[in-house]
């Protein structure tokens, strides 16, 4: 662990606690209305309009809802890849075939994720994506994303970099989660855009 990483990780933990506390106060109506608005904003994004393959994820709990967006992408004949969490926190991928084939998979004592039930395509499948939709808790005005701390998407971004793949990196958030400045570590990479229920903001 480098000096900068050691200094910033406690700051990130504090940010995560505060952001999760706000999310946990959202009602089912808040989440449902935000999901509809989020899908509408995201579907107008030129990168998604022209995408043939999109790596996405299924929202759980109080995360900004992605189901409407996933189904709209499939209706456009976009190939949608969904993550499968591996024991080492890396991500495998499977194709999204609609709501029914999703499997409810328990990871640890507290985490239940919805994962594709079909064949596994391997961790490198993400390098075929034109757009990668990233979960997160916040993004700052430089495009630096704060995740939950598991490191899964840090591995995805490193894999894309090693492969020379350059998909559009887009994080999906609530409006209040776009902030002025987040603590960063040496391995952190900026995203290209954030989509919230009220609009799109681009970086760089």
Q: Which domains does the chain have, with CATH numbers?
A: 3-202 (3.40.50.10420)
Is residue 3 predicted with pLDDT exceeding 50?
A: no
Is residue 5 predicted with pLDDT exceeding 50?
A: no
Interacting residues of 47 by C-beta distance below 8 A, sequence separation 6+: 130, 131, 168, 170, 192, 193
Cα gap 94→88, rounded to integer Å: 17
192 versus 5: the higher-pLDDT residue is 192
Q: What is the pTM of this model?
A: 0.93
What is the per-residue pLDDT across 157-180, written as a single tens digit (0 to 9) for each? Answer: 999 999 999 999 999 999 999 999
Out of 2-16, 60-74, 121-135, 188-202, least confident range: 2-16
CA torsion angle 114 118 119 122 (round to 10): -20
Give the model's pLDDT for residue 204: 81
How remote is the C-alpha of 151 from its chain's centroid? 12
Is residue 1 predicted with pLDDT exceeding 70?
A: no
Give the model's pLDDT for residue 4: 41
Per the DSSP assignment, residues forming a β-bridge with 202 are 193
Residue 167 CA: distances (Å) to CA of 8, 89, 155: 28, 22, 15
What is the per-residue pLDDT across 76-94, written as a single tens digit (0 to 9) for each? Answer: 999 999 999 999 999 999 9
């Amino acid at each position: 662990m480098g000096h900068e990483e050691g200094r910033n990780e406690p700051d990130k933990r504090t940010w995560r606690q505060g952001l999760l506390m706000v999310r946990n106060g959202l009602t089912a109506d808040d989440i449902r209305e935000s999901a509809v608005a989020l899908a509408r904003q995201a579907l107008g994004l030129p990168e998604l309009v022209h995408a043939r393959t999109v790596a996405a994820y299924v929202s759980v709990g109080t995360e900004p809802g992605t189901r409407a967006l996933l189904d709209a992408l499939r209706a456009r004949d976009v190939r949608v890849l969904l993550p499968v969490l591996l024991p080492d926190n890396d991500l495998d991928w499977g194709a999204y075939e609609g709501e029914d084939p999703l499997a409810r998979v328990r990871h640890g004592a507290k985490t239940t994720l919805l994962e594709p039930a079909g064949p596994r395509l391997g961790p490198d499948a993400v390098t075929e994506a034109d757009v990668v939709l990233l979960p997160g808790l916040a993004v700052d005005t430089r495009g630096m994303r704060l995740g939950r701390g598991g490191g899964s998407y840090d591995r995805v971004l490193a894999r894309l970099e090693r492969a020379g793949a350059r998909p559009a990196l887009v994080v999906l958030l609530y409006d209040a989660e776009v902030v002025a400045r987040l603590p960063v570590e040496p391995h952190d990479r900026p995203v290209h855009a954030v989509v919230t229920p009220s609009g799109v903001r681009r970086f760089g």
